[in-house]
Amino acid sequence: MRSHQTVLLACAVLGALAMAAPARAQSSVSVNGMLDLGLYRGFDGVTQIGTVQRSNLAISGVEDLGGGVKAVFRLSTRFEMDTGASEGAGYKPFWHDESTIGLKGAWGTVRAGRAMTAMWANDWKFDPWCNYNRIASPAWQHWHYLTPSDPFANNGTAEYGRLNNGVFYDSPTVGDFTVRLSGTPERDPRGATRPVSAVLEYGQGAWAGMAAYERNSIGDKDYFAAGKYSFGDAAIMAAYDDSRELATNGRSRAYTVSASYKMDQRVTLKTGYSLQRLNGVDNRYLSFGADYALSRRSTLYFSVGHQHTTSTGFGMAHIF
């Protein structure tokens, strides 16, 4: 009996391997991410070692299904380099950053799961720090201030950026324009409506632009527009964000201008200014940064930001 079971097991394993071999020849899985750690003094005056720019680990894959169609997936988690703990451990899911599966073809890409909304997934292109630096990024400080993308995504607490149970679509680029959409067919009983996010993106040579609208499940709304012009080793960016909270009639309007300049193959300078009008009160934010590329993957950086108080920090980031 034991011998018969062994033969059946061997046959099953060989059969699985035989079926998997062609798939492996037409599919690929990659592991990548970013490691970041710095020493910084926060706006609260506390000096600490920690993540200035988010660290993440991602597993992604693609399989060619034939006929110009591919299956895609992505799993990504974010973590704190100074402690090794998952970001938001205890209330955020392990695959906090993204967990999606979908199809890609000439008609675009459709994914489902948890991921950044259309607006949040693309606004980084108009900020020198890619909305990824807690000290220097005007986007991090002022954009989408009153409108969490999913008010209940993290075990009942708000998520700024991502949507649970979502469907995400990116169109092919037609005439220099790309449409990006996200939403969910589900209605959270704690909310009043289904969330939706829509982006129209433009790119032609030195010019780039984006217009976006987003509404979350409790009726908060965000209107966003941005533009970028690149010339030589420099780029200038401008953005406007209008964030409105339904429950309180709160409103945050942010006017942002920023620039970057690549001095040589190693040094890049960045600066930004943002004026936020939050419920009638003006908040100004000024920042500066410098990156020094040790290689194509490793960078040393210095960041400073000022809003009422000053925050400074320096650190190292490695992309793999």
Q: Where are the beta strands (DSSP E) in the chain?
A: 27-41, 47-50, 55-66, 69-79, 98-105, 108-116, 150-154, 157-159, 162-170, 177-183, 196-204, 207-215, 221-231, 234-245, 250-262, 267-278, 281-293, 298-307, 309-319
CA gyration radius for the chain?
22
Mean pLDDT of 15-28: 53
- Please tell me the predicted confidence (pLDDT) of residue 277: 98
Check pLDDT > 70 for residue 271: yes
> pLDDT grade, residue 5 (50/70/90)?
very low
* Token pair listed for 181: 């959409």
CA 102 to CA 110: how far, in whole Å?
5
Residue 258 CB-density burial (10 A; 0-12 exposed, 13-18 middle, 19+ buried): buried
Residue with the two structure tokens 């009422």: 308
Check pLDDT > 70 for residue 267: yes
**In the chain, % of residues over pLDDT 70:** 92
In CATH, which superfamily holds the domain spanning 60-76+99-319? Porin (2.40.160.10)
Mean pLDDT of 89-118: 97
Nearest partner of 37 among 45, 26, 48, judged by Cα: 48
Check pLDDT > 90 for residue 10: no
Measuring CA to CA, how many Å separate 199 from each of 131, 193, 196, 225?
Answer: 17, 19, 10, 10
- Please tell me the predicted confidence (pLDDT) of residue 26: 80
- 110 contacts 180 by C-beta, under 8 angstroms: no
- 166 contacts 159 by C-beta, under 8 angstroms: no
Mean pLDDT of 170-176: 97
CA 279 to CA 244: how far, in whole Å?
10
- Please tell me the predicted confidence (pLDDT) of residue 7: 37
* Token pair listed for 201: 């993106």
- Please tell me the predicted confidence (pLDDT) of residue 13: 36
Mean pLDDT of 163-175: 97
Return the minimum-mean-pLDDT range out of 17-26, 109-118, 134-143, 245-254.
Answer: 17-26
- Please tell me the predicted confidence (pLDDT) of residue 272: 98
Residue with the two structure tokens 């720019």: 53
Mean pLDDT of 179-192: 94
CA 159 to CA 95: how far, in whole Å?
13
Sign of the Cα torsion 128, 132, 138, 144 reads: positive
Mean pLDDT of 208-213: 98
Question: Which conformational region is residue 249 in: left (phi greater than 0), alpha (psi within -120 to 50 degrees), or beta?
Answer: left
**Backbone φ, ψ for residue 10 (5° rounding):** -65, -40
Check pLDDT > 50 for residue 89: yes
